[in-house]
Amino acid sequence: MVSENPFGEFRRECEGALGYALEKVLPEIRVAALPLSKPPNIEFGQLASSLCFELAKKLNQKPQALAEQLVKAIDKVDFSLIAKVSSVGGYVNFHVDFAKFSALTLASIRQLGYGYGFLKTAKPLKVIIEHTSVNPLHPIHIGQARNPMLGDALARILQSRGHAVSKHYYIDDVGRQSSVIAYGYVKLGKPQPDEKADHFVGKIYTVTSCIVEINRLKKALVMAKAVGDMDEVARVNKELDDWVSIAAELKEKFPSIFDKLLAKISEDENPEEEINKLNRAYEKGEPAAKALIREVSELCLEGFRETQKRVEVFYDSWDWESDFVWSSQVSEVLQRLKASPFVFSEGGVLEFDAEKTARELQLKAKLGLSEAHEISPLTLVRADGTTLYTTRDVAYTLWKFSRSEKVINVIGMEQSLAQLQLKLLLYALGYGQYAENFVHFAYNLVTLPGYKMSSRRGRYITFDEVLDEAVERAYEEVSKRSPSLTEAEKRKIASFVGVGAVRYALVDVDASKPVVFTWDRVLNFETNSAPYVQYTHARACSILRKAEKQPETPAFELLSERLERELVLALAGFPEIFVEAADYLKPNLIADYVNALADKFNTFYNALPVLKAEPLGLSDARVVLTDAIHIVLHNALDLIGVVAPEKM
């Protein structure tokens, strides 16, 4: 017999046994569900039910007495995987028949191979996952890198669950920031990059922003002095001092670009207005503006693609924000919103009343909000006629739903209000079903102890730099541990170990919590890291190579050590962990699982012989167990985009 979910088979058998006993002992009682959970110690069984505590309240009896009655009824029935049932402290405890269970689990894993664990959903959906979507302004930095790692892991997990997943990158090319880069790019004479394109664009953006901001503040200072507003003078002076210090820092870092841009930008009487004109022209789709901003955006995207290829992250669609603006889609959305009772105009500015929408459509409870929670309004259109990001995002979201049944936006939790407003806009437009299938997958920050990143100062650690350092550190460790390898082998191993270490570190923490990125944790070969799990997988593969021949007579009943039984249970439980990770969008559960499995296997490896175990049936059984471990480690690592190497 082969099972896609061995522990699920045992669970179903326990549910059947408990249901049978309940019918025999208390036929008049009906319960909504039969609770079963894993006891903290396998000596108490592999599943336990707290049902008797619930029944005791209804029947005014003691839980232990009820548990004993149910156990007595179950004892009269034959089961395949249940070895015995016991009652302890009011719980009904189920003990698995480890000989049969081990045979079922290990045979299933070996037969299903690299497909084991990936239970398919009964309701497959078309899902669009939008992730990364870093603005094309500067290189992806380590603070943003968590997004593609989480987004790609979610896509892999949901695809393995049986959903039809499409991965989208939303290119935010509309707005002042893109015009700032284009303005600086033109002032430099549209130079060709002499380095990785996104790094080059990032320098232009940072320096141009700084020079333009200083120019604006100097004018604001003159105006404040002219009207005698000394509070405003003090405020502007303070801000100006800050930007002047930034300028000094940028001039030291990028002297050539800084001097050229300063000279060229100084030729314009009002650089700020030049940028605003370009921004308005681009949103209107004027040909010259379109060609310019698309050109500089593509330069940055070229660099992004290089970085993403390095970490094996790819997209099915690159969606330009401007395409939605230039089409009629954004204007159509605005016209429909204007006709709703939830949009109003004030001083030439179009506003969305999110609070009124939630209140009148009675959505607060559905959205998990208290009635006292006040939702801020959202500006849809500025007085100059330009739209805001969330306004354009409505048209994009409707476009995504025309191609899918569920939309998942992987966006930082600092955007939670905007994503809530977007959902409310869908409700306001009458797309309630879309709103209910719209998911904001929020994630917390990445922090580096002792380092404060600042985009406006050009002070950030790029994702490329982190990957480079990870690979170099991995190379040093591999060289120390395996000096006999060739240089080519060391470099190859260092590449997948370094990249895998970074991927794992950005996924293994619950998305709602911040990631504290330290090299001691990321490249720890001893515990809870990709290198640790990869090394464990390679160790299992080494044992299998040394075994030379296929095990012929595995005696699974001899796998009686506690360590062996814990390993079998962990392997059997992988499909249920996978389903939980997929259905509740928790990729960190996969990282937690592989680390725990690696821990158990390494303890087993250090305590018990495999190839030299006696008798032969035990050795063969342990070889099969090791083979199953290598398969499951491979499958789980693949879900989070980490290579499972055969040698390290």
Determine, yes or no, domain membership for 52: yes
| Token couple for 338 | 């204007």
* Inter-CA distances, 82 with 2, 7, 9, 24, 505, Å: 17, 12, 10, 19, 39
3-state secondary structure 512-531: CCCEECCHHHHCCCCCCCHH
Q: What is the 3-state secondary structure (H, E, C) of 404-451?
A: CCEEEEEEEHHHHHHHHHHHHHHHHCCCHHHHHCEEEEEECCEEECCE
Residues 184 and 145 in one domain: no
Q: Yes or no: say if 533 and 595 are a contact pair by the CB < 8 Å rule.
A: yes
Task: Look at the block and give the residue holding tokens 């955007």.
Answer: 415
Q: Verify that 393 and 376 share a domain, yes or no.
A: yes
Residues 219, 254 share a domain: yes
Rounded-to-integer distance, Cα 535 and Cα 1, Å: 32
Q: Give a yes or no: residue 337 inside a domain.
A: yes
Q: What is the mean pLDDT of residues 249-261?
A: 95
Neighbouring CB atoms inside 10 A of 495's CB total: 17
Task: Count Cα neighbours of 630 within 13 Å in the Cβ-side half-sphere.
Answer: 20
How many distinct structural domains can be found in the chain? 4
Cα 605-609-611 angle, rounded to 5 deg: 110
Task: Note every long-range contact of 3-6, with CB atoms under 8 Å and residues 24 or more positions apart, other chains counting.
Answer: 3/104, 3/105, 3/108, 4/108, 4/112, 4/116, 4/119, 4/575, 5/119, 5/575, 5/576, 6/101, 6/104, 6/105, 6/108, 6/571, 6/572, 6/575
14 and 80 share one domain: yes
Confidence band of 456 (pLDDT split at 50, 70, 90):
low
Q: How many CA atoms lie within 13 A of 171 on its CB side?
A: 23
In a domain, 111, yes or no: no
Is residue 474 domain-shared with residue 619, that is, in the same domain? yes
**Mean per-residue pLDDT of the chain:** 95
pLDDT at 524 over 80: yes
pLDDT at 523: 87
pLDDT at residue 247 tops 90: yes
Query: Phi and psi for 314 in degrees, rounded to 5?
Result: -135, 160
Q: For the chain, what percent of residues have pLDDT higher than 90? A: 89
Mean pLDDT over 186-202 rounds to 96
CATH value at residue 569: 1.10.730.10
In the predicted model, what is the mean pLDDT of residues 21-48?
Answer: 92
Q: Are residues 620 and 559 in the same domain?
A: yes
Whether residue 112 is contained in a domain is answered as no
Boundary residue ending a domain (96, 112, 147): 96
Q: How does residue 76 score in pLDDT terms, banded at 50, 70 and 90?
A: low
Is 187 in the same domain as 323? no
Cα angle, residue 581 at apex, residues 575 and 586 outer, rounded to 5°: 160
- Residue 458 pLDDT exceeds 80: no
Asked whether residue 323 falls in the same domain as residue 268, the answer is: no
Tens of pLDDT, residues 376-395 = 999 999 988 888 899 999 99
pLDDT at 452 over 90: no
Burial of 483 (0-12, 13-18, 19+ CB in 10 A): exposed
User: What's the CATH code of the domain at 396?
Assistant: 3.40.50.620
Tell me which of 107-116, 334-343, 436-445, 521-530 is least confident: 521-530
pLDDT of 335 reads 94
Please state the rounded mean pLDDT for residues 7-35.
93
H/E segment holding residue 93? strand 91-96
Q: pTM of the prediction?
A: 0.93
Q: Which domain holds residue 227?
A: 176-303
Span 392-411, pLDDT tens digits: 999 999 999 999 999 999 99
Q: Strand, helix or coil at 101?
A: helix
Residue ending a domain, among 74, 96, 118, is 96
Chosen domain end from 259, 275, 303: 303
Q: How far apart are the first and last CA of the chain?
A: 35
Asked if the structure places residue 309 within a domain, the reply is no
pLDDT-derived band at 136 (thresholds 50, 70, 90) equals very high
If you average pLDDT over residues 316-337, what whole number do you get? 94
Do 246 and 354 lie in a common domain?
no
Residues 546 and 428 in one domain: no
Considering the domain architecture, whether residues 399 and 324 belong to the same structural domain is answered as yes
Give me the CATH number covering residue 36.
3.30.1360.70
Q: Give residue 11's region: left, alpha or beta (phi > 0; psi -120 to 50).
A: alpha
With respect to residue 310, please indicate whether it lies within any of the assigned structural domains: no
Report pLDDT for 315.
98
Give the whole-number percent of the chain exceeding pLDDT 70. Answer: 99
Residue 104 belongs to some domain of the structure: no
Q: How confident is the model at residue 568 (pLDDT cuts 50, 70, 90)?
A: very high
Residue 11, domain member (yes or no):
yes
- Assign 526 a pLDDT band (cuts: 50, 70, 90): confident
> Are residues 299 and 209 both part of a single domain?
yes
